[in-house]
Chain A
Amino acid sequence: MPAVILKNPSDFGEWRGAARDLLLRGAAPDEVEWRTGEISDLFDGGPVAAIPRAGTPPRVPEAFLELAEAVICHSDPARFALLYRLIVRLQSDRHLLSVAFDEDVAAARLLEKSVRRDCHKMTAFVRFRETPGTQEGRRRFVAWFEPDHHIVARTAPFFARRFSDMDWMILTPKGSASLNGDTLSVAEAPAQKPVLADPTDALWLTYYANIFNPARLKVKAMRAEMPKKYWANLPEAALIPSLIANASARVAAMAEQARQNPPAFHDRLRARRSTEEAPAPIGDLATLREEARTCTRCPLHCHATQTVFGEGPEAAPLMIVGEQPGDMEDLAGRPFVGPAGKLLDSVLAKAGIDRSAAYMTNAVKHFKYEARGKRRIHKSPNAGEIDHCRWWLGMEIDIVKPRLVVAMGATALAALTGRKTKVSDMRGRMHELAPGRALLATVHPAYLLRIPDARLRKEETERFRADLETARNWTYD
């Protein structure tokens, strides 16, 4: 049986060269023995060389390279043969790696997982200790780590990306890595454990001991993620036994602690707060808006982000009332800023109305919706919610005293008239809302957005614009 002797236990390039040669010679997986060692000649005698090379170079999928680069780092001596068996099988079965439960694939995935985990734990558990002296202004750090697999070369670039402004060295029984200035070097030779000490470890231990919550002891969960084999090189692990041993006593002490009087500054805070009484309402829009912020007249406030109050000049001659804030209005805290608001803006401009001169508000001040997946689907407010919120709308009208109020949609119309009315029954004519105050009914711009037919949508948008022109002429002429 031919033997392949690899110099480096985890050099994927070396293995790949050997595997390619074997494949070209048509060597069957069970004919080859893989070893690592110091023999310079790749093939240790045997009849392999006698087999003539066969035609086309072997091809492997990208996914195999990624898998093999990890598996080669494993310490299992069978990894080379397993990978060669996979590469041979892949020549006739391109989809082999998609079959996760195939025996060879599953075995390789297991090795891959174990290597990835070892690499990850190395990035987590290496502890640098500072050593005296600097080189051209760069501080120097040394770490000792004991990996399960041949992962130093694979993991070293991570440390180079992270710790680029200091010189460092990571020593392990399976090789070492170091950064000096810009130069990252990796060596295969086993290193000796150095003697390391760093006074900053004491602060880290203080942190570790105090971030631990003794009331929720879960030792198994800790050990699953930080197995004991790593403890020897983790300075904080020395605290674990005493933290566990004292946990229950600390929890009991908390429960038995006698109730104490609050500290003096708490009483001072209390006293100060009681003198900071809220100012009495003075009946302007700003006060009303502030009061509306904490409105709890209906349950909608718990679900919505915030009260979306009206905005505009305090003496605007024109007031526009919509239904309720939508998704965007709820987040931004301003009326008519979502898709319907954008449409309204453009039609207002065409109708010659300056939005900033009008008072814009909604019949209902909180967003009502249904959570569906990660989206919020608009729901129309019910009669009770409209009724609760009428109080605010009434106050807004009383303060602003507009000459004309435009009701957009049935909800606004119901809130303004106090009864359920069809928009189509009242649309296009002026009605008296109160002496000296007119009401004009039209559709809500969101209705226009929902019309699927483009021609019809255009017609309806024109009618909407005509309504707004009527409003402009009545208000400003």
Chain B
Amino acid sequence: MHPTLMERLAILSDAAKYDASCASSGTEKRDSSREGGLGSTEGAGICHAYAPDGRCISLLKILLTNFCVYDCAYCINRSSSNVQRARFTPEEVVWLTMEFYRRNYIEGLFLSSGIIRSSDHTMEQMVRIARELRTTHGFRGYIHLKTIPEASPALVEEAGLYADRLSINIELPTDAGIAELAPEKRPDGIRRAMAEVRLKIEEASEPTVRTKTRQRFAPAGQSTQMIVGADGANDATILSTSARLYGSFALRRVYYSAFSPIPDASARLPPTKPPLMREHRLYQADWLYRFYGFGIEEITSAQTDGMLDLDVDPKLAWALAHRERFPVDINVAEREMLLRVPGFGVKAVNAILAARRHRRIRLDDLAKLRVSLRKIRPFVIAEDWSPLRLTDRGDLRGLLMPEPVQLSLL
């Protein structure tokens, strides 16, 4: 019997959940009350629900089909898996997107697919869905399309006309890891696809000579995902791969996805619980690299094995290893150094910089900025505070360790 739409929705959303990204932010502004059609985008994305895995549900994240000719060991949809298979018609995906959107369940569509027949055949179907949504149905919400490896440049170009974001997953931090676990995927092909998208985005952002208007190509940029813990790569390797990806392809985000056990798993993979804390630390390190002026070397050199400290966050780990750089006088220090104080976020630093033009700042003032005094006390000098020897105490790490938190109900 042909499965119902609901049964297929169950299969094809279950098949899509290992993609971590659900972002719907950072695209151009669109407004159906002025442009007609349905939907809007206004810069910030919206998470319409949260699942008990703590992940935001912003987009209808589904596969067009979970049939796949590839046999990537970590993937629930690999050809050797006995998972139940299904496919949507393009019309069904369009209908689900529009009806879900109307009820305010979602910000838009995140469409991916197993590879059926050929890369181009698969990509064509996905582009067709995006085109129908935009042109036939006047859909102004968010569209994220997964780029199929080895799809032809013309299809990627068309995808960028309709999609807000394009992404292609690098999957594993090293070429050797890809060769081992995803033998049909070609790392150079993946990198080439990202380069193509980057060049198209840059080309489109240049105003045209005649009309001075900018073309539209994936205005929310591109992203990728790396699986953490399926191969032997350490955090230093993972983060330097990220740095290269950011530098080479101007990615908006690299997502880290703790390898999560899947039904009918390949014997080649660890059947363990996903390393959620490791994933969390990688995101923190990624943030330090992108927004706090840290180099990858600085972040990963605190430990000798190339792994991040699981007990303390990477910024605190760096500060504990570089006590000579502290304490920092919050009334005079440069922005770059304030950003390196464990416990200060970008917002707190901005508030300090704005306020100190008019007042001297005391330690208690920081509490009103919702900064944890316990965390920053050893690292700062304020109008009425100096840590004296606290900065250099041997047991400082123990004093600053977070209380053990319960990660899950398990």
| A residues neighboring B (CB under 8 Å) | 95, 98-101, 103, 106, 120, 123-130, 139, 141, 143, 158, 160-166, 198, 200-204, 206-222, 225-226, 234, 236, 240, 243-244, 247-248, 251, 254-255, 257, 259-260, 262-263, 265-266, 269, 293-294, 296, 301-307, 330-333, 369, 371-376
Q: Is the CB of B244 within 8 A of A371?
A: yes
Cβ of A164 and Cβ of B191 under 8 Å apart? no
- Over the window 345-356 of chain B, the binary record of Cβ atoms lying under 8 Å from chain A Cβ atoms (1 yes, 0 no) is 000000100110
Is A305 touching B194 in the complex (CB atoms < 8 A)?
yes
Residues in B whose Cβ lies below 8 Å from that of A225: 47, 50, 56
The answer to whether A254 and B262 touch across the interface, beta carbons within 8 angstroms, is yes
Chain A residue numbers with a CB within 8 Å of B103 are: 127-130, 141, 198, 200-201, 204
**Cα separation A99 to B355 with both chains bound (whole Å):** 4
Given contacts A294-B188, A369-B247, 14 further A-B contacts (CB under 8 A): A106-B369, A128-B104, A158-B40, A160-B33, A162-B32, A164-B33, A213-B18, A213-B55, A215-B261, A217-B53, A219-B54, A219-B409, A269-B69, A376-B247
In the complex, what's the smallest C-beta–C-beta distance from B204 to chain A, in angstroms? Answer: 15
Distance A207 CA – B81 CA, assembled complex (angstroms):
22
Determine if B207 is an interface residue (Cβ-Cβ < 8 Å): no
Minimum distance in angstroms from A162 CB to a CB of chain B? 4
- Within the assembled complex, what's the spacing in Å between the Cα atoms of A206 and B5? 10
Q: Out of A99, A215, A305, which one reaches B248, CB within 8 Å?
A: A305
Shortest Cβ distance from residue A371 to the other chain B in the assembled complex, whole angstroms: 4
Contact A219 B9 (CB under 8 A): no
Report B-chain residues with C-beta under 8 Å of the C-beta of A216: 53-55, 258, 260, 274, 276, 408
Given known pairs A162-B40, A254-B263, the reply for A98 and B247 (CB within 8 Å) is: no
- Min distance, Cβ A340 to any Cβ of chain B, angstroms: 18
Q: Who on chain B is nearest to A139 by CB? A: B102
22 A-B contacts (beta carbon < 8 Å): A101-B361, A101-B365, A130-B103, A143-B104, A161-B40, A162-B32, A164-B36, A202-B6, A203-B96, A207-B9, A208-B49, A216-B53, A219-B54, A244-B409, A254-B261, A262-B81, A301-B175, A302-B174, A306-B195, A331-B195, A373-B247, A376-B248
In Å, the complex CA distance between A210 and B8 comes to 11
A266 touches B80 (CB 8 A): yes
| Binary flags per residue of B1-24, CB closer than 8 Å to A gives 1, else 0 | 000011001110110111000000
Taking a contact as CB atoms under 8 Å apart, the answer to whether B358 and A222 are in contact is: no
CB-based contact A331/B60 at 8 Å: no
Q: Nearest chain B CB to A469's CB is how many angstroms away?
A: 33
Contact A213–B260 (Cβ < 8 Å): yes
B13 and A210: CB pair below 8 A?
Answer: yes
Nearest Cβ in chain B — how far from A140, in angstroms? Answer: 11
B53, A165: Cβ atoms under 8 Å?
Answer: no
Using CB atoms, name the residue of chain A closest to B289: A373
Report A-chain residues with C-beta under 8 Å of the C-beta of B243: 371
CB–CB A100/B354 < 8 A: yes
- B71 interface residue (CB < 8 Å to A): yes
Given the interface pairs A163-B32, A165-B36, A215-B261, the reply to whether A303 lies near B14 with Cβ below 8 Å is no
Is B358 within 8 A of A255, CB to CB? Answer: no
Give Cα A263–Cα B48 distance, bound, in whole angstroms: 37
Indicate if the CB atoms of A204 and B100 lie closer than 8 Å.
yes
User: For the complex, what is the distance from the CA of A260 to the CA of B175, rounded to whole Å?
Assistant: 29
Interface flag for B288 (CB, 8 Å): no
Other-chain contact of A303, B96, B244, B354 (Cβ < 8 Å): B244
Q: With CB as the reference atom, state the residue of chain A lying closest to B184.
A: A273
Contact between B365 and A218, CB atoms less than 8 A apart: no
Q: Taking the complex as formed, is B160 at the interface, i.e. its CB lies under 8 A from any CB of chain A?
A: no
Contact of B104 among A127, A212, A259, A332 (CB under 8 A): A127
Q: Give A241's nearest chain B residue, CB to CB.
A: B52
**Chain A residues with CB under 8 A of B61:** 211
User: What residues of chain B have their CB less than 8 Å away from a CB belonging to chain A?
Assistant: 5-6, 9-11, 13-14, 16-18, 31-34, 36-40, 42, 46-57, 60-62, 67, 69, 71, 79-82, 96, 99-100, 102-105, 138, 174-175, 186-188, 191-192, 194-196, 198-199, 240, 243-244, 246-250, 258, 260-265, 267, 271, 273-274, 276, 296, 351, 354-355, 357-359, 361, 365-369, 406-410
B53 touching A255 by the CB < 8 A rule? Answer: no
Shortest beta-carbon contacts, A-B, top 5 = A221-B54, A218-B54, A262-B80, A101-B365, A101-B368
Known interface pairs A208-B49, A225-B50, A226-B50. Does A101 touch B369 (Cβ–Cβ under 8 Å)?
A: yes
Q: Are A248 and B410 in contact (CB under 8 A)?
A: yes
Q: Nearest chain B CB to A329's CB is how many angstroms away? A: 10
Q: State whether A163 touches B258 (Cβ < 8 A).
A: no
Given A203-B6, A212-B17, A374-B247: A255 and B261 interface contact (C-beta under 8 Å): yes
Q: Are A302 and B60 in contact (CB under 8 A)?
A: no
Query: Which residue in A123, A130, A243 is a CB contact (below 8 Å) of B51?
Result: A243
Closest B residue to A226 by beta carbon equals B50
CA distance A410 to B115 in the complex (A): 46
Contacts of B11 in A (CB 8 A): 210
Evaluate contact between B80 and A200: CB separation under 8 angstroms.
no
Q: What are the residues of chain B within 8 A of A125 when measuring CB–CB?
A: 48-49
Q: Which residue of B lies closest to A202 (CB)?
A: B6
Known: A101-B351, A375-B247. Is A240-B82 also a contact (CB below 8 A)? Answer: no
Query: In the complex, which of the residues A106, A207, A240 has the most CB atoms of chain B within 10 Å of its own CB atom?
Result: A207
Which residues in B have their C-beta under 8 angstroms from that of A304?
191
Contact A302 B48 (CB under 8 A): no
With a cutoff of 8 Å between Cβ atoms, the chain A residues found around residue B39 in the complex are 162
Question: A262–B68 Cα gap in the complex (Å)?
Answer: 13
Q: Are B52 and A164 in touch, CB under 8 angstroms?
A: no
Q: Which residues of A contact B10 (CB under 8 A)?
A: 206, 209-210
CB atoms of B104 and A126 under 8 A apart: yes
Given that A244-B52, A294-B186, A302-B174 are known contacts, is A100 also in contact with B355, CB under 8 Å in the complex?
yes
Cβ 8 A contact of A208, one of B33, B57, B196 = B57
Q: Would B244 and A218 count as touching, CB distance under 8 A?
A: no
> Chain B residues with Cβ under 8 A from A247's Cβ?
52, 409-410
- Cβ–Cβ < 8 Å partners of B249 in chain A: 305, 331
Contacting pair A374 B250 (CB below 8 A): yes
Q: Report the nearest A residue to B242, measured CB to CB.
A: A371
Bound Cα distance A209, B246 (Å): 34
Residue B17 contacts which of A211, A221, A330 (CB distance < 8 angstroms)? A211
Tell me, in angstroms, the Cα distance from A166 to B187 when the chains sit together: 46
- Whole-angstrom distance between the alpha carbons of A332 and B196 in the complex? 7
Task: List the A side residues contacting B247 at CB < 8 Å.
Answer: 369, 371-376
Q: How far is the CA of A124 from the CA of B48 in the complex (A)?
A: 4
Q: Tell me, rounded to whole Å, the shortest Cβ–Cβ distance linking A294 to chain B.
A: 7
Nearest B-chain residue to A93, judged by Cβ = B358
Known pairs A212-B17, A301-B188; A141 contacts B102 (CB<8 A): yes
Chain B residues in 8 Å Cβ range of A203: 5-6, 9, 96, 99-100
Q: Which single residue of chain B is at the shortest CB-CB distance from A162?
A: B40
Q: Which residues of A contact B361 (CB under 8 A)?
A: 101
Nearest residue in A to B138 (C-beta to C-beta)?
Answer: A165
Complex Cα–Cα for A332 and B274 (A): 37
Q: How far is the CA of A222 from the CA of B32 in the complex (A)?
A: 31
Q: How far is the CA of A206 from the CA of B358 in the complex (A)?
A: 56
Q: Are the C-beta atoms of B199 and A332 separated by less than 8 Å?
A: yes
B273 contacts across to A, CB distance below 8 A: 215, 251
